[in-house]
Amino acid sequence: MTTVNLHSALQQQQCRCSLRSTLPAASNLLMRPLRLPQALQMISRGSYALRMRRSVQLMCISAAAEQKTGKGKLVTKTEIPAFIPRQDLMDQLIRWAMSEADAPRGLGMWGLPVKVDPYYKEEDVLWGITFTIMRDGEVATQLGVWYDDEEVMKHEWVGRGSDGFPTLEGKQREVVGKHLEIRKLDEKPVDDLLRETIRNICQQLVSAINKYYAFGSVFVDEAT
């Protein structure tokens, strides 16, 4: 029994020595957090405010993008052939639309005054056009004209098969923007004059695209 008690005593003594030797380091670790709550609160508050600002910014960006690309009533859409260069076509369309919208020709061409603005999918990627139709100095409605997000496969060139019919050959790559959509971006009512203006814009836009298909330019006069 004495041996057992001595052994237990030795173990207890070793434990106390071990605790004494590790106590300073442990106390340092325990003391450090006591000095941090205010700093942690400031950091957490700053991080929360930063996250909130970023969240608000992202919400605004998402709402604007959603309004322009995802929402609104689809008026019509047309499929754009894969070999048509999207950026060149849209660059010509925006310049054509701005020239047609200049008063007084825009008033005579379309029916009501129209303001034209480019729409950029990214900072430097021209993706569409916004038509703002005015009446008595106020916005009557807005139309969005832009490519969708569908993809189409583009081939490197068009060859001729053994049967004499054209075949798609060469390397393939995906092109974003399978269709060109025209959307009404608001829920404002449409009367006969506004409906006629929308119809005129759509018809003139289709005519400009057909000119591009035929001549490579939307500015070609078909009479010549």
pLDDT in tens, 24-78: 444 343 344 434 444 434 444 444 444 444 443 433 333 444 444 456 899 999 9
pLDDT in tens, 116-166: 999 998 778 999 999 999 999 999 999 999 999 999 988 777 788 888 887
User: Do 183 and 72 form a contact (C-beta atoms < 8 A)?
Assistant: yes
User: Do 114 and 106 form a contact (C-beta atoms < 8 A)?
Assistant: yes
Predicted confidence at residue 58, as pLDDT, reads 35
Q: pTM for this structure? A: 0.64
Nearest Cα residue to 145 out of 189, 103, 202, 197:
202
d(CA 197, CA 193): 6
User: What is the DSSP-derived secondary structure letter of residue 161?
Assistant: -
**What DSSP line would sit under 21-73, residue for residue?**
HHHHHHHHHHHHHHT-HHHHHHHHHHHHHHHHHHHHHHHHHHHHHIIIII-SE
Q: Which segments of 71-204 are extended strands (E)?
A: 73-79, 114-122, 125-135, 138-147, 151-160, 166-176, 179-184
Q: Which two tokens stand for residue 167?
A: 């075949």
CB crowding 42-70: b at 16 or more within 10 Å, else e: eeeeeeeeeeeeeeeeeeeeeeeeeebbe
User: Do 154 and 175 form a contact (C-beta atoms < 8 A)?
Assistant: yes
Q: Please report which helix (H) or strand (E) contains residue 189, including its range.
A: none
User: 173 by DSSP, 3-state: which?
Assistant: strand
Mean pLDDT of the chain: 74
Cross-strand bridge partners of residue 157: 169
pLDDT in tens, 168-199: 787 889 999 999 999 999 999 999 999 999 99
Using pLDDT thresholds of 50, 70 and 90, give the confidence band for residue 224: low
